[in-house]
Structure 1
Amino acid sequence: MFKYNYYCFLLLTIFNCIYCLNAIAINSKQQQNQTLDLSDSFIHICGGLDGISILSDCYYYNIHTNQWQSIQSMSTPRDDFNMISYDSKLYAIGGYNGNYLNSVETYDTKTSQWKSIASMNIIRHYHDVTVLDNTIYVCGGEYGNVVFKSCEYYFKAIDEWHFVTAMATERRGLALVAHEGYLYAIGGDNANEYLNTMERYDTVSQQWQPMANMKYTRSYFAAVSYLDKIYVCGGFGNSDWKSCETYDPQTNQWTPIASMLSERASLKLIAFDDKLYALGGRTIDDHILDTVEMYDYKSKQWLPTTSLPKHIKQFGASVITKL
């Protein structure tokens, strides 16, 4: 009897192990199926200035097909504005179209339509936007020759904008970057001088704290969170408009990296598919660019790649993934 029970126990144990292994395999396969496919991610650009007109045009670029395609234009032409992606939507915020704007519109990839949402509390251009903890933040900018240090966030649930603690420094042409749980307000100018200063906002304490200065002063430049660092490139200031540097929050230090191939201000910097893309902008002699270059993290070099559909500066750009 004991021998019989032992064999039954052994068979039951083997059966349970096989069942568990199958369950793990099925769960692993389901998790793999839930992983986002980069073929459904696209770089979007909207608006800006082509040297003649303020634009409302929008396009998306699929790096896997190497093609730009147009989508519905914004309802409002926008220059000197900024755009961010959040929850499968694009948000075009503020700017200038002959009048200075506090209006906001959002593009839904599911309906392929733009619609207006609540306007910001104040008119802003030359500001910047980012997303931190599922919340859209806007900081700085200018209106009526007044440079702002104010910041506000979008309360999506009730379609309202609310102010948060203002930065310590007035900034226009700044970069606002969300990185590892903090907001970083970087560079810009205050209408009197270009800045290399940076401050960091803690959403828990609701306070701004000064951090390490960049190597160069920069305004109307571009910045992005990429891997475990913040990357900045180009812009007006005391660099050659090609220079780039990285910030490491672990050491609170800035380090120069390879310069871009072209001098660029009023450009956009996009992190996508383990690479950086520097898009458009203008040169020192105000030649408006349609070129794009790519920074390969492994080779640590900038390489020429595709062109934009137009020569543009002061436009909006963001990556959005269709879920």
Structure 2
Amino acid sequence: MKLRILQVIQSNEFLNFDASKLQTILESDDLNIQTERVAFEAIKLWYEHDASARKQKLSDLISYLRWTQLDTNFIIENIRPLPGCHVVALEAVSWLNIPSIRKTISLRYTSPRKAEPVFLALNTWGGQSRAIFQYDKTDDLWHEWVDIKTDVTKVEVILMDDNLIFIGGTRNDKAIDEVSSWNFNTKIFQRLPSMNQSRYLHYVVELNRKIYAVGGKGANGEILQSVEMYTASDGWKAINSMSTPRAFVNAVVLNEKIYVIGGENSNKLKSVECYDPTTNSWTQCADVNEIHSNPGASVHNGQIFVVGGAHNIDSSTVERYDPQRNEWTKICSLNIKCQRPGCISIYNQLWAVGGYQNWCTSNFVSVYDEQNDKWIDKKPIPKDGYYYCFTAPKCLL
């Protein structure tokens, strides 16, 4: 039986659980939570109910967390200060940041929980309807889960906790700086602080609880070189700009860094650059082999894949980046020519969903067979469009 810890925490009996019962919950791979932080908050809530009596059990319960699902800053700021947790927190930080010493550190869990997430795809282009479709793996079918109403088009979206964050875009063909949060539970929008600059045809990523808005076009159609970062405490602030202006760009996060791929300004671009938040600096990476303007992109098995959107608006080119070698390799092309498909790594496979084909939006869905270097077409998604693909725990639905 899958455990829904949010319901357990909210029950009257939770605070009086003995340590062994809480341990049983934390051990479960089927724990139905959205982020590992929920498990941490449950432990902390239980401990604080009777801190003096439960102090001796705290570090042992903390050791049942899935450390790879927590970032270094969170561990240092929230777990290390707890009584008796200093050593396990520092070991976890060392394991995460120094691969060469992992064999010398014994952590209970270094892999995520195994409960399979839900695969969702959000249509982000055109009209006033933003349908979210849920994928049924058993029947290879898509079902509409909810329809979100908004008058913003060409918007970028990111999932954080139980909210979809809608960032920038256009309204009545004019670029906007607006940011709104749509909650999965209430299904209501709430305004967040606006960006410093209006943007559309930009891209957004999340790294260590911070959202980054990269490039795009501004209020007067100018192509932007600027990048800004959002935190819940400080709102939006500018960080160092990219080396070149970019719109129609894509970006991914790998190894605690942000990789920005292709796009265009006055020229269509092959260049790739990488942002390191610890130094607030950009470095150049190897160029892609083909020009990729408005591609899809995703991290899969420790490498970056850029999909479609090459020098033609309907390109099918796919490339793979090895960060250790700083090298791009062309792999099997898509079965159709496409721009800006939604890309995601799920079920140990790389997926491409929707996009733009022959001047029209597309509803194709395809999966990369890495062993045989070929793309396998799946049942199409019901509605044409650009898609933002993401995974969510079942408890979110």
TM-score by length of 2: 0.68
Residue 298 of structure 1 corresponds to which residue in structure 2?
371
The Cα of 1:197 is off from its aligned counterpart by 0.2
User: Which segments of 5 or more consecutive residues in structure 1 lack a partner in the other structure?
Assistant: 1-22
* Equivalent runs, 1:18-57 vs 2, <5 Å: 30-34=27-31, 35=113, 37-38=115-116, 40-49=117-126, 54-57=127-130
1:153 aligns with 2:226: no
State which structure, 1 or 2, has the greater radius of gyration over its C-alpha atoms.
1
Q: Identify the range of structure 1 (249-258 vs 293-302) with the bigger mean alpha-carbon deviation.
A: 293-302
1:172 aligns with 2:244: no
2:353 corresponds to which of 267, 275, 279: 279
| Residues 30 and 275 (structure 1), Cα distance of their counterparts in 2 relative to 1, 3 Å cut | same
Residue 186 of structure 2 corresponds to which residue in structure 1?
111
Distance 2:176 2:313 in 1: 31
- Comparing both structures, which one devotes a greater share of its residues to helix? 2
1:263-302 deviations in Å (ceiling 9; x for gaps): 001322122121122111222x313211111113333321
1:320 aligns with 2:395: no
Conserved 8 A contact 1:82-1:317: no
1:128 corresponds to which of 178, 193, 203: 203
Aligned length: 289
Conserved 8 A contact 1:147-1:172: yes
Distance 2:130 2:380 in 1: 16
1:100 aligns with 2:175: yes
Distance 1:292 1:62 in 2: 11
Conserved 8 A contact 1:72-1:112: no
1:264 corresponds to which of 315, 338, 355: 338
Distance 1:69 1:146 in 2: 36
Distance 2:373 2:260 in 1: 26
The Cα of 1:173 is off from its aligned counterpart by 0.5
Residue 3 of structure 1 corresponds to which residue in structure 2?
none
2:143 corresponds to which of 68, 73, 91: 68
Q: Identify the range of structure 1 (210-219 vs 106-115) with the bigger mean alpha-carbon deviation.
A: 106-115
Conserved 8 A contact 1:89-1:320: no
Residue 201 of structure 1 corresponds to which residue in structure 2?
275
Letter matched to residue 285 of structure 2? M
Conserved 8 A contact 1:60-1:69: yes
Distance 2:186 2:214 in 1: 29
SS in 1 for 2:29: helix
* Equivalent runs, 1:219-234 vs 2, <5 Å: 219-234=293-308
Conserved 8 A contact 2:332-2:374: yes
Residue 13 of structure 2 corresponds to which residue in structure 1?
none
Conserved 8 A contact 2:314-2:338: no
Letter matched to residue 269 of structure 1? C
The Cα of 1:172 is off from its aligned counterpart by 0.2
SS in 1 for 2:378: strand
Distance 1:226 1:173 in 2: 22
Q: Quote the sequence identity (%).
A: 25
**Larger RCO, structure (CA 8 Å, separation 6 or more):** 1
Residue 382 of structure 2 corresponds to which residue in structure 1?
309
User: Which segments of 5 or more consecutive residues in structure 2 lack a partner in the other structure?
Assistant: 1-19, 32-112
Distance 1:264 1:67 in 2: 20
Residue 4 of structure 1 corresponds to which residue in structure 2?
none
